[in-house]
Each structure stands twice: as C-alpha cells, then as structure tokens.
Amino acid sequence: MSWEKNVRKVEPYVAGEQPKDRDVIKLNTNECPYPPAPGVKKLAETLDCDRLRLYPDMNAEKLVNALADYYHVAPEQVFVGVGSDDVLALAFMTFFNGEKPVLFPDITYSFYDVWAQLFRIPYEQCPLDENFRIKKQDYLKPNGGIVIPNPNAPTGVLEDRDLFEEILAANPESVVIVDEAYVDFGGKSMIPFIHKYDNLMVVQTFSKSRAMAGIRIGFAIANERLIGYLKDVKFSFNSYTLNMPSIEMGTEAVRDDAYFKEIVGRIIKTREWTKKEMGRLGFEFQDSQSNFLFVTHRKVKAEEIFLALKENHIYVRHWKKPRIDNYLRITIGTDEQMQRLIEFLEKYLKEKSDD
C-alpha cells in the first residue's frame, strides 16, 4: 500500500511464551517462583478503589523516596518506569543520539538491538570470548554509548566491578548503562559508583528478585543531571506511567527487606543444587550468578531437549541464533520444580543413550 513507505518498520522483540495452561513448570522467562512480599498482598486486598478516579502521582514520589533510602542516594538520583524495559528504552532515546555506534555484547539481552533499530541508533555488537566473557578492549574504542548487563543475559556470567570502572573511566564522553536486572542473585551493584562517575546509569527491576514481574516496575539510579535528562524525555512522552497500585505495592516491596533477602537466598541455594545436578547429567555451563542457568549438553542437541521438555509441560528458553542455538536458558524455580526437571532429564537422557 502506498502509505506504507511512511511507516516506521521494526522487527519486534520476541518475549518468552506465557502459556495459558497453569500446570506448566514455567522456567522460561526468569520470573521469581515465590510470591511478592506479604505486605504487597495485603495492599492488593485493601486497595481503596475510589482513588482510581484520580491520576497517580506522576513523580511516584513515595516509591522514589523508598528506593533512594534503600540505596543511600538522593531522590533526584532515582528514576522509575514501567519495568526496566521502559527505563532502558527511554534511556536509549535520551542518551544515544551521537553519530558513533552504541556498543553492547553480541550475546546479550535481545531487546538492545531492537531499541537501537527503533530509534535509528547506529550500534555495534562486541563478541564475547569463548567463555562468554566481556573483552574489555572492545569498549575502549570511540562510541556513542555503552550498555552491558551484569550479570549478562542469557549467559548468567558476572563480571567484576573493576571492569566497569575501567570502561567508565575510559569513556567520559559516553553514557554507560549497566543493566543489573539479575545483580541481586550474587553480584555487587555499581550503584555506589554513581558518585564517582557522572556518566554511569544503573538500571534494575522488580521483575526478578522482588517477585513482581506482573506489576511492571523498573528503575534507574544515576547522577541527578542524567536523571534530569531522562525525566525531560519521559515527561515529553507520557507523564503518567506508573499507576497508583504499582507505586503503593512497589514501595511496600522495598520496605520488606527481610522477605526480599529470604527469597533471594532460597533461589541462590536452589541454583547451586541445580548446578551440581546438571553437571552430573552431562550439561556444561558457565558459573551463573543470576536466577537462571545457560546450559549445553555434551551429547544431545539443545533444540531436541527443549522440545522434549515442552512436550512434558516444562518450559525453558531456546534461541535459534548464531553461537547460542545449542544452549538452553533455564530459570531457577522452586526446589520441587527443579527436582521435577532433573528427574525428567535424567530419564530422558538415559533413554537417549540406550537408543
């Protein structure tokens, strides 16, 4: 059709499947297997619906203040959005307007190249080494910005904070985004370094360690000037992003630190058990410090295992992409879910080797 020449054409991001069937063991989108903090449930049950007549607080002050307190930063250094996807998309739009390419790893969160294409941002993907590690020198060349998750996804590999310090110090003219969606599962946050590097933006989410993927809250912490620019773009786009129940429930989740630490601790324990079992079954993987494992089997193709699991109502993630098509990303569920996964794999792999 003739109007199509004026359409902004993009190849959209493909999220993991959300099956309708509730009996599935769902290990495909890195959600938390535990419910949100008890106070969040209480708030949901006692929500004053009359208040929904009114617009929410466009600055989400309550939530921003709770996060500022928790992370020992000023409220002016905090930005909240509808999931970290919202925060990251706005950050791409706000900070990556140079002529030089934005840099990110070749194996990484598959939304980055989609945003770059959507916003017409030139980009270059820097190949990870054979152990899925970041090669520092790739990020020391001229660039229009840098974005790296730590731990990286879908590899689960955690890099030391020194690496990011070196990248930040070498790139004072670029905004460097560290996407810490999975940092609570064993990493150390770069948040304290926002006081040292005015070009650093740290992004985190409530979707994984705070068990609230359904509520959609993400946030950025950075120097107030950076946050100010991000707010200017947000308020030129959509003022009322977070809704009132999200602001209330998010605030409650941040306040219950004991529950947060308890569920994160449980997931880490289950992850370490799963690593041992997967190793025993002939899987190989890097040492994940996130809430998922990225595994390949010595003998059986990943796609075959993926399909067999799916047929048996266990969902994991598989990408038909260069370098990673023989890998599966498996979210850490409850102990019981992981036991069922291991039992199935043990039987399945034994039958295959008997063939």
Q: Which residues bind ligand PMP (CB under 6 A)?
A: 83-85, 109, 149, 153, 179, 181, 205, 207, 213, 218
Closest approach of Cβ 163 to ligand PMP, in Å? 17
Closest approach of Cβ 194 to ligand PMP, in Å? 18
Closest approach of Cβ 5 to ligand PMP, in Å? 32
The closest of 346, 341, 343 to 28, measured between CA atoms, is: 341
Neighbouring residues of 322: CB distance < 8 A, sequence distance ≥ 6: none
Closer Cβ to ligand PMP, 84 or 274, answer by number:
84
Closer Cβ to ligand PMP, 153 or 168, answer by number:
153
Closer Cβ to ligand PMP, 60 or 345, answer by number:
60
Closer Cβ to ligand PMP, 86 or 248, answer by number:
86
Closer Cβ to ligand PMP, 185 or 283, answer by number:
185
Closest approach of Cβ 187 to ligand PMP, in Å? 12
Closer Cβ to ligand PMP, 47 or 213, answer by number:
213
Closer Cβ to ligand PMP, 36 or 149, answer by number:
149
| Residue nearest ligand PMP, CB atom distance | 83
Closest approach of Cβ 84 to ligand PMP, in Å? 3
